[in-house]
Amino acid sequence: MKTIYLPLIFLFSLTAIALQAQDFSDKISTATASYQSGNLEDARFNLQQALADIDAEIGKEILSLLPSSLGEMASKPEEDDYSGSNLGFAGLYVHRIYGNQEQDHASLEIITDSPLLTGINAILSLPTFMNKGDENQKVIKVENYKALMQKTEDTSTGATSYTVQLPFGQSLLTLSCNGSFEESQVLALTNTIPFSQILDVVE
């Protein structure tokens, strides 16, 4: 029976990919026809829909590059999320969860084409920020990219959480580690994420 299922799954995946490509082509064809007939608003609408399709493909590809586990925390593929809204303030959004909520857990988010980057980049460009300021914030380097690491302590539970925000190109990656993490642990986990490969897909 296994010999039947695997080819069926493969065939289904190929069909899904083909349908997605067909969907995009249909939208481009509709946009072209609308444009030629002078229906500019319709052309624009279809182009925007096509843009969302591209973002969806990029989202899938990013998810395929992300590690299936972070340290001892396994990912939850059923909770993987991606959306391409082509909105000016959000762009493409990709999300993956690792571990269980009750124990140490982490989440990885990637936003592309987002003006939210401006604030982060401003902080990272301040030379004095590296030496002074809030002791719960520091600038670190990951694969030669500067990132902002922030520590949060829950005084009621004693849990220490870390957030690493790394802007690269027009994208922002946020790794949130919640539970009983050490700084060195979080740095090690951050270094397992393939930023260069993700950058190749989004830039």
Chain residues that interact with other proteins, rule: CB under 8 A: 21, 24-25, 28, 31-32, 35, 40-45, 47-48, 50-51, 54-55, 57-58, 61, 86-89, 115, 201-203
Residue 95 CB, nearest approach to other proteins (Å): 19
CB atoms within 10 A of CB 105: 18
Residue 96 CB, nearest approach to other proteins (Å): 19
H or E, element range at 40:
helix 40-65
Residue 163 CB, nearest approach to other proteins (Å): 26
Residue 31 CB, nearest approach to other proteins (Å): 6
Residue 140 CB, nearest approach to other proteins (Å): 27
Q: Which long-range contacts (CB under 8 A, 24 or more apart) does 24-33 make?
A: 24/50, 24/53, 24/54, 27/53
Residue 194 CB, nearest approach to other proteins (Å): 17
* C-beta closer to other proteins: residue 57 or 150: 57
* C-beta closer to other proteins: residue 44 or 141: 44
* C-beta closer to other proteins: residue 31 or 147: 31
Q: Rounded to an integer, what distance in angstroms lies between the CA atom of residue 133 and that of residue 164? A: 17
* C-beta closer to other proteins: residue 53 or 104: 53
CB atoms within 10 A of CB 153: 11
* C-beta closer to other proteins: residue 42 or 143: 42
- Give me 128's structure tokens: 């004095």
* C-beta closer to other proteins: residue 86 or 185: 86
